[in-house]
Amino acid sequence: MWSTTMACRRFINLYILVLFVGCSSPEELLQIHRGQALGTTYIVQYQGNALRYAQNQKTIDSLFEVINQSLSTYRPHSDISKINNGEENVVVDSHFKTVFHKATQVWQASDGFFDPTVGSLANAYGFGPQRPLAILGASQRDSLLALTGWDKINLTQDDRIEKKSKGIQMDFNAIAKGYMVDVIGSHLTQVGYVNFLIEIGGELLASGSNPKTKQAWKVAIDDPQQGIERTFKTVLPLKNEALATSGNYRKFRIDSLTGVKYVHSLNPHTGLPVQSKILSASVRAPNCMTADAYATALMVLPLEKGQALITQDPELAAYWVLAQASDTTVIQSNNW
């Protein structure tokens, strides 16, 4: 349900390692909700009484519906689609405002490398599904750069969006799934659940502990060079924090004439695809929306700039997988 943007990062590169056995007390049962939403799969697990299962599923479904109506670019009558189509009197909701403000924060912190207005560039390059790769000329790229830039959009005091050009397109794909994870987590916390793990398309939020092990939930990060069998670079505990991973190793195009690999991460300053040794970047943060946005930013930022960005914020930790000649290497922040 979400379009491809700057990071084109919607593959599941996190694998949840959760074992389940039945418990004798209804209050100790691990309830599991699975489904498809936002163009991907989700799984919500929590320790609680099965009597509330149906009501919780109904609430989860309604939350997905609300977020879709606000932020889905695949819905022609959603708020963001109306704004992208030039409607000027759309009053956005609290979800839109929350995501907008976080996008602004990360855009500023990343020196503009995280930018939700690169959708026009991504579409022009043909980074959508089953589309041929296009090589843009300088004049075409410059015209699209005129429609790129988060500083060309403003959220007014009466909750409307002002754009310097009607052609500017917003796309929150690189942050919305993480935000949806947080919304579900907030609901579970409000109704009294302590131990839960939420995953949407590889974005994760963990609270409390795994009811079976009585320890932190365990998750793993994929090895980008894995073969037929799935292998992992690392397994790590996750407790009362979020984890998101972005990567390019499954989503790229190769120019048949030059052999150059064009990844789906676009530099919003130059309009050029990023050619980088960074195969994936994972970020731990207090909430999943923040982790989601920064993981995207790290795929576009030069490695040194990305490391400096993470170091300056004590609430963030990062883990990079880099390509080598025939293998991969790992770099992690000091607090990972």
Measured from the Cβ of residue 311, the count of other Cβ atoms closer than 10 Å reads 14
| pLDDT surpasses 80 at 326 | no
Q: For residue 6, tell me if it sits in a domain.
A: no
Residue count (the chain): 336
In sign, the C-alpha dihedral spanning 319, 283, 202, 73 is negative
Contacts of 65 (CB under 8 A, 6+ apart): none
Range of the domain at 283: 14-332
- Please determine, for residue 12, whether its predicted confidence score (pLDDT) is greater than 60: no
Residue 1 lies in a domain: no
Residue 310 has pLDDT above 90, yes or no: yes
Q: Determine the pLDDT at residue 198.
A: 98
Which pLDDT does position 265 carry in this prediction?
77
| pLDDT number for residue 129 | 46
3-class DSSP state of 253: strand
Q: What percentage of residues in the chain have a pLDDT greater than 70?
A: 82
Predicted local confidence at residue 258, as pLDDT: 62
**Per-residue pLDDT for 130 more than 50?**
no
- Rounded distance, CA 220 to CA 199, Å? 13
- Cα 275 to Cα 22, 73, 159, 291: the distances in Å are 48, 27, 38, 23
**For residue 170, pLDDT beyond 90:** yes
Task: Pick the most confident of 28-42, 130-144, 188-202, 265-279.
Answer: 188-202
55-59, 107-111, 327-331: least confident range? 327-331
pLDDT confidence band for 277 (50 / 70 / 90): confident
pLDDT in tens, 205-256: 999 999 989 999 999 998 776 656 777 889 999 999 999 999 876 555 555 6
Average pLDDT value for residue range 74-98: 95
pLDDT band of 124, cuts 50, 70, 90: confident
Q: Is residue 101 part of a domain?
A: yes
User: What pLDDT score was predicted for residue 74?
Assistant: 87
Give pLDDT, residue 289.
Answer: 98
pLDDT score at 253: 55
Would you say residue 95 lies in a domain? yes
Banded pLDDT at 262 (limits 50, 70, 90): low
In a domain, 145, yes or no: yes
Could you tell me the CA-to-CA distances from 292 to 10, 85, 296, 324 in Å, in that order?
11, 26, 6, 25
**pLDDT value for 20:** 38
Distance CA 152, CA 174 (A): 19
Q: What percent of the chain has pLDDT over 90?
A: 64
Highest mean predicted confidence (pLDDT) among 92-101, 126-135, 213-222, 277-286: 92-101
Q: Tell me the pLDDT tens digit for each residue of 181-205.
A: 999 999 999 999 999 999 999 899 9
Examine the pLDDT at 324 and tell me if it is beyond 70.
yes
User: Is there a domain that residue 212 lies in?
Assistant: yes
CA proximity to 73, closest of 173, 223, 175, 201: 173
Domain CATH code at residue 106: 3.10.520.10
Start-to-end Cα distance in the chain? 32
Q: How many domains does the chain have?
A: 1
Whether residue 53 contacts residue 61, with contact meaning beta carbons closer than 8 Å, is answered with no
CB 157 within 8 A of CB 278: no
pTM: 0.87
The Cα 92–Cα 94 span in angstroms is: 7
* pLDDT, tens digit (0-9, with 9 covering 90-100), for 36-69: 998 889 999 999 989 999 999 999 999 999 999 9
